[in-house]
Amino acid sequence: MSPQLAAYTTSTGEAVQFWMLGTVAVLGALCTVFMRRAVHSALCLAGTMIVLAIFYLANGAYFLGIVQVVVYTGAIMMLFLFVVMLVGVTAADSLKETIKGQRWLALLCGVGFGVLLLAGIGNASLTEFGGLAQANANGNVEGLAALIFTKYVFAFEITGALLITAAVGAMVLTHRERTERAKTQRELAAERVRDGRQLPPLPAPGVYARHNAVDIAGLLPDGTPSELTVSRTLRERGQIRDVSNEALNDLRALEQRSEERLERTPGEPADLTRRTEEASK
């Protein structure tokens, strides 16, 4: 094997790593696109980014590999998760198509674009692979620093200006100027009385003695669950558990079991309903 060719192929270990982690990266990317919930998408994207960090390390970009983990998966993805928690908890993606056939056209465009890209790479004459042994001889970080502070120093300065602009922009965008005086507690109370809304505190959730979780609606005197007792977020997400029929179901199961034990014929339906009605009183 000539030295040229030896530099051109990687070690078997790197090949194994590439094929295993490459699969993980592609799967993560696909999950990012096709998961319904934004939180799952964000987690899949974080996985893909960690795999890419390992690929950077394998390609001799040691500094970038660490920066990828710290900046991308550590800072950017956590920022995404913050915003998902802030915004996306109730925002389920609607599946209704606003433009007819847009999804299939988009998929077709994507596949066509991918084929074009892959064919372009396949046709390019990439015959020599230098390897970074010489460039990394004095250390990767030192090499990068030498380049950044000489050849790319202007780009580096402009990056600083960009970061400051971004920070100021984010503050301006999310800052809300208060146009009116904040209402005092007394004014809020007076307003509530005037509107005739719920005056006392809202009723507590949970069916005491059986369940006291916050996602279980409290029961009204007639046995129906009251939506008012559960927090608005859970109501909007549809995560309320209904236990109003659980007692009756338990009783019914008990009846059935006891009749099986006593080897009776399955009880007359009229008898069963009468007894359950008695129990519910």
Partner 1 sequence: MNPVNYLYLAALLFTIGATGVLIRRNAIVVFMCVELMLNACNLAFVTFSRMHGNLDGQIIAFFTMVVAAAEVVVGLAIIVSLFRSRHSASVDDASLMKL
Q: Which of residues 58-117 bind partner 1 (CB under 8 A)?
A: 59-61, 63-64, 67-68, 71-72, 75-76, 79-80, 83-84, 86-88, 91, 93-94, 98, 103, 106-107, 109-111, 113-114, 117
**Cβ(180)–Cβ(187) below 8 Å:** no
Backbone torsions φ then ψ of 207, nearest 5 degrees: -105, 105
Q: Work out whether 179 is an interface residue with partner 1 (CB under 8 A).
A: no
Question: Taking CB under 8 A as the rule, does residue 137 contact partner 1?
Answer: no
Query: Residue 219: helix, strand or coil by DSSP?
Result: strand
Cα angle value 52/54/57 (rounded, 5°): 115
By CB under 8 A, the residues from 8 to 27 that bind partner 1 are 8-10, 14-15, 18-19, 22, 25-26
Which residue, 162 or 228, is less far from partner 1 as judged by CB?
A: 162
Nearer to partner 1 by Cβ, of 115 and 204: the residue is 115
The residue with tokens 């509530």 is: 192
Is 2 among the residues that bind partner 1 (CB under 8 A)? no
Query: By CB under 8 A, is residue 126 in contact with partner 1?
Result: yes
Q: What angle do CA 23, 28, 34 make, to 5 degrees?
A: 125
Q: Please report whether residue 202 would count as binding partner 1 according to CB under 8 A.
A: no
Say if CB 31 and CB 40 are below 8 A apart: yes
Please give the Cα distance from 25 to 247 (Å, whole number).
49
The nearest distance, CB 178 to partner 1, in angstroms, is: 14
Nearer to partner 1, 120 or 221 (CB): 120
